[in-house]
Amino acid sequence: MLKLSPISLYIHIPWCLKKCGYCDFYSYVSKEIIPEKKYIENLLKDFEQDLNSVQNRIINTIFIGGGTPSLLKNISIRKLIYGIKERSLVSKNVEITIEANPKIIECQRFIHYKESGINRFSLGVQSFHSNLLKKIERTYNSDEVINSIKTLKKTSENINLDLMYGLPEQTLEHSLLDLQYAIKYNPNHISWYQLTIEPNTPFYSKKLNLPKENTIFKIFSKGDKLLKKSGYKKYEISSYSKPNYQCQHNLNYWNFGDYIGIGCGAHGKITKKNGKIIRTFKNKNIKDYLNGNYLNSINIVSEEDKIFEYFMNTFRLYKPVFKRHFREKININETNIEKKIQIAIKNGLLINTKNYWNTTKKGKLFLNSLLKIFLK
């Protein structure tokens, strides 16, 4: 029988001011008044149903994402957080994050959010250059970005800034300036990742003037050095933090931990004591969801998919992957994948020791090639 650890809770708020051309997250453009009260009531009912499957496991982290969660009023966030705590076992040291848009930052609102128990704020900056923000269809400009950071810092020191590189017509100088601006405001955490154009997004069919591959490599190399030199430790492919400020919620994902996903279009992952892993997918239709039809489907993850999904997460981290952890998380012995491990070693992507595996520098750089080895 597996030892089941504490879990995380992801809460999806599907409304946005505008759908960005690169975004493949599930969201609605807010053209009418958001039915906040009814949505919060249904979120809590959705949560109650999922609690039946987790058997009183402690919730260590809560992440309110979207969409744009900061569209919600103070009273809605308070009712949501209090409702979660009334219905479940929540850790005294729970990390509660909310995502925010620089267009919607009011000091008083965020003070109220903090009073409700939110202790981490993630600001979707993407760039400090107004012309680049316009090219990726963000709804704010550089002045609003800077004002939003200053406003948030009056509320909390525990702030993450989300930044992108590889934007249309972005140069090496633009990218490094973005990082320099971010570092200047001294957030405790910076998420810095490359823009990727997914097939199901409006940008996929557009002709975008994206930076060449060699420019991307230079941006990554110089930016990575700048962040590390400025006191940020890289602990995951796109995550840098000051000491003791790693995002615990995301660490749970990358360590292949379990999480409940509630809200329109949310996903969840729950491990049963017999080793089965269940993935839940919530209803994407907002009208159906508000009528109490929460669950869209449940999938049992196959043995082969368990292996692939485990490595897809754990190989993102800048630390060894212990074989004991592999056995504990997916209830499979590492001898079952010995041939695939040998292929990864032969290709210079992986190091194998008695107790752990570790990706090589080449393995991190060509992570997709490493992961393909573990596909069916």
Domain presence at residue 168: yes
What local confidence, expressed as pLDDT, does residue 203 receive? 63
- The share of the chain scoring above pLDDT 90, in percent, equals 78
| More confident call, 90 vs 34 | 90
What local confidence, expressed as pLDDT, does residue 204 receive? 61
Instruction: Determine the angle formed by the axes of helices 107-115 and 142-155, rounding to 10 degrees.
Output: 40
Domain presence at residue 166: yes
Residues 340 and 215 in one domain: no
- The share of the chain scoring above pLDDT 70, in percent, equals 93
The domain boundary residue, chosen from 238, 253, 268:
253
What local confidence, expressed as pLDDT, does residue 136 receive? 85
Per the structure, the complete domain to which residue 343 belongs is given by 303-376
Each residue of 301-326: pLDDT tens digit?
999 999 999 999 999 999 999 999 99
Domain presence at residue 268: no
Domain presence at residue 374: yes
Each residue of 198-257: pLDDT tens digit?
677 666 667 777 889 999 999 999 999 999 999 999 999 999 999 999 999 999 999 999
Residues 22 and 84 in one domain: yes
Domain presence at residue 144: yes
Domain presence at residue 271: no
Q: Is the pLDDT of residue 343 over 70?
A: yes
What local confidence, expressed as pLDDT, does residue 256 receive? 97
Least confident of 20-24, 32-36, 51-55, 174-178: 20-24
Give the number of domains in the chain: 2
Residues 56 and 175 in one domain: yes
Residues 243 and 374 in one domain: no
Each residue of 139-165: pLDDT tens digit?
889 999 999 999 999 999 899 999 999
What local confidence, expressed as pLDDT, does residue 25 receive? 57
CATH at 331: 1.10.10.920
Residues 227 and 353 in one domain: no
